[in-house]
Amino acid sequence: MTMKAMVLHEITDLADNRKPLRLEDRSDPSPGEGDILIKVTACGVCHTELDEIEGRTPPPKFPIILGHQVVGNVADSGAHAKKFTTGDRVGVGWIFSACGQCKFCHLGKENLCAEFKATGRDADGGYAEYMTVPEGFAYPIPEVFADVEAAPLFCAGAIGYRSLRLTGIRDGQRLGLTGFGASAHLVLKMTRFRYPNSRIYVFARSEKERDFAKDLGAVWAGDTAEEPPEKLDCIIDTTPAWKPVVEALKSLAPGGRLVINAIRKESRDQDYLLKLDYPKHLWLEKEIKSVANVARSDVSEFLDLAARIPIKPDVQEFALADANEALLELKEGKIRGAKVLKLA
Ligand SMILES: [Zn+2]
Ligand SMILES: [Zn+2]
């Protein structure tokens, strides 16, 4: 049996190559002993895929099928895979597997495992009609979500959830968000639900994003370098640049923490780091922490939380064969809801 897949064959620059992925017939993957085979019904399109295509977080081998926000139904299980039965609806996120043996894995911090493998980078992902995954890295999906609504939750939502956890926020503390894309707007919604007494401040370059943030309940929204009326206990940065990091640090309260949620930073404005002024930006025990990948607990806890709130992302659907268009729109900042490939 063969399936359709959108396949990446090499690192390339989207500015010159507007069709980095090729639609191909591939033989269906078959599940290993501990794996399930998923018939994919929806797969979200993520900024990280631009990083993979353009080489900022390159796949170790080619060809590779991208896609790490996958929803589908179990079509088959390997001999030792007992967690799901055929037909069950499941999802897969950025974490594809980890060693299961190291100290990080034992602590539930498999996102830090040296053997961490990412879906759609280190193993074939969901830009295809079928994919396989170790059963322990697939999750049931709450019923309230349609397939296309669930897909975007698997990346932006789960990593947003982890970022929020890593801030250490308590109810009533002030949260800042610098950058207001898919992940940040989900963080705003979860924060309002989980920490109803916390005030949220948003820094964004575009006026549209600032208005959107205020519509969603931010008490203040300003440009990247503006100073909010009060200092903030924690800030999450979701931008690809350095200026927002430096500028956010000046708005942090003593003992506050800045969490950087970015898989890679672009080097374009790296010089901005030279503006770092120790007394203004770091003194008084301010902290900077990055957030790396997601652990399984982040995905399952977030799905549960999203169903309770509920968080239903606005989605823009594309056919599998139109994945290149979806990626280009993302690259060009044409964001009208989360982009999702809809299959079947
Ligand atoms: Zn491990
Ligand atoms: Zn992603």
pLDDT at position 66 is 98
Q: What is the CA radius of gyration of the chain?
A: 20
Question: How far is ligand 2, taken at its centre, from the CA of residue 22, in Å?
Answer: 20
Contacts for 103 with CB less than 8 Å, ≥ 6 apart: none
Name the closest ligand to CA 339. 2
pLDDT at position 333 is 79
Name the closest ligand to CA 113. 1
Q: Read off the pTM.
A: 0.92
Name the closest ligand to CA 110. 1
d(CA 258, CA 242): 13
- Residue 114 structure tokens: 């040296």
Q: CB neighbours (10 Å) of residue 17?
A: 12
Short-list 293, 336, 277, CA closest to 163: 293
Question: How far is ligand 2, taken at its centre, from the CA of residue 120, in Å?
Answer: 10
Name the closest ligand to CA 181. 2
pLDDT at position 314 is 83
Question: How far is ligand 1, taken at its centre, from the CA of residue 299, in Å?
Answer: 17
Question: How far is ligand 2, taken at its centre, from the CA of residue 234, in Å?
Answer: 23
pLDDT at position 308 is 96
Question: How far is ligand 1, taken at its centre, from the CA of residue 271, in Å?
Answer: 36
pLDDT at position 184 is 92
Question: How far is ligand 1, taken at its centre, from the CA of residue 97, in Å?
Answer: 9
Question: How far is ligand 2, taken at its centre, from the CA of residue 178, in Å?
Answer: 18
Name the closest ligand to CA 95. 2
Residue 217, Ramachandran bin (φ over 0: left; ψ between -120 and 50: alpha; else beta): left
- Write out the chain's pLDDT in tens, 344 residues: 899 999 999 999 999 999 999 999 999 999 999 999 999 999 999 989 999 999 989 999 999 999 999 999 999 999 999 999 999 999 999 999 999 999 999 999 999 999 999 999 999 999 999 999 999 999 999 999 999 999 999 998 999 999 999 999 999 999 999 999 878 989 999 999 999 999 999 999 999 999 999 999 999 999 999 999 999 999 999 998 999 999 999 999 999 999 999 888 888 999 999 999 999 999 999 999 999 999 999 999 999 999 999 998 889 999 999 999 999 999 887 776 789 999 97
